[in-house]
A and B are shown apart, each in its own frame.
Chain A
Amino acid sequence: MNNTLLIVDDSRVSRMILSKVFSSLASDWTVIEAENGEGAIQQAEKHQPSLIIMDLNMPLLNGLDAALILKPKMPNTTFVILTADIQESSKAKVNSLGIHFIEKPITESVVQQALEFWSTEHV
């Protein structure tokens, strides 16, 4: 069965870019999307993705709160926060909760980093 990536971002453009770049690096993955943390919880519970890449700053439910709700229920899923908020304090907070952190803008090397996080956890 294919691995599934869940992309969570309130920006449609960011979802488009991430989906495109990720598919070019891992064409055998299924990619699904959600617009905010609440949508992420619904999609994650339904599809059990292997990797979730989530924006931090989103309306309704932010990425970190959504990750903290999902993480205990999904021990085999790799959680990555992808954000424009690149402050050291934000990075430290995310990392201290056992969640990976990558920086916008979305580039091939940034997405590659997310894949490496997943790969390291699934060796």
Chain B
Amino acid sequence: MSDMNALELDALQEIFNVGVGRAASSLSQLTNEPISMSVPVIHMLSPQGASEFLDPHHDRILTCISQTFSGSFSGNALLIFPSVNSLEIVRLMLGSEMPLEQLSEVEQDAMCEIGNIILNACFSTIGGMLSEHFCCQLPVLKAGYITDILNQTSPNKQVLIVQIQMGLEKHNIEGFLAFLLENQSEECLHQAIKQFLTKVEA
């Protein structure tokens, strides 16, 4: 987003902030837990830079629910948690009385559903604020190191990362959302932000 000015970047951050606020509310309802949210941070990075930024030590296996979105701009939205925590998240969602064996069986389905609900909450808000409509594909679950996840999702592309950490405070679980934009979508997003600001300033 090197050609966006400070006000446009501010607008982009704030739009994602509101979208992720809705997403955190959905996650809170799903898990019956309060969710902490960080101030959003926006970066335009190479895939390698993105890997180093998202997991500096490259030593964690992560679970990623990704959803391809398309509209006036397109890309992938990722909800990422350390894999070691995914079963605990599912347990919070489904209740502690479910046997572990049964919980493991539905873990993948449940994580996809969590991703679907959260990412759609986010997109409906962003779409509403930008007066845009986005089509979202079905969520896809991946597990691996961050480099593998990013290589599968957006190989060899510059990626826009809107990083917002979301934490389940009582359980010391921290995940984050990242939005990876396709190169050709940068200009479309820029135009959408310009139009948004034109309305604000009118």
| Interface residues of A, Cβ cutoff 8 Å to B | 10-14, 16-17, 20, 57-59, 83-90, 104-105
Contacts and interface: CB of A to CB of B under 8 A. Distances in A.
A11 B196 CA distance: 15
A91 to B, nearest CB: 10
Given A83-B21, A85-B37, A90-B34, A13 B28 contact: no
Nearest to B169: A89
Contacts of A105: 18, 125, 128-129
A16 B201 CA distance: 8
Contacts of A17: 200
B83 to A, nearest CB: 25
16 contacts: A11-B10, A11-B11, A12-B6, A12-B10, A13-B7, A13-B14, A20-B200, A57-B37, A57-B39, A58-B39, A84-B37, A85-B25, A86-B25, A87-B28, A88-B28, A105-B129
Given A12-B7, A104-B18, A85 B24 contact: yes
B163 to A, nearest CB: 14
B contact face: mostly helix, strand, loop, or mixed: helix
3 A-B pairs closest in CB distance = A84-B21, A89-B34, A11-B14
A16 B196 CA distance: 12
With most chain B CB atoms within 10 A of its CB, the pick from A12, A20, A58 is A12
B28 A10 contact: no
A9 to B, nearest CB: 9
Interface of B: 6-7, 10-11, 13-14, 17-22, 24-25, 28-29, 34-35, 37-39, 125, 128-129, 197, 200-201
Contacts of B129: 105
Contacts of B13: 11
A83 B21 CA distance: 8
B122 to A, nearest CB: 11
Given A16-B200, A57-B39, A85 B21 contact: yes
Contact of B34 (A10, A14, A87): A87
Contact of B10 (A13, A83, A89): A13
B17 A11 contact: yes
Contact of A87 (B10, B17, B25, B200): B25
Nearest to B33: A89
Given A87-B24, A89-B34, 12 more contacts: A11-B11, A11-B17, A12-B7, A13-B11, A16-B200, A57-B38, A59-B39, A85-B25, A86-B22, A89-B28, A90-B34, A105-B129
Contacts of A58: 39
A83 B25 CA distance: 12
Contacts of B19: 84
Contact of B200 (A13, A57, A85, A86): A13
A87 B35 contact: yes
B197 A13 contact: yes
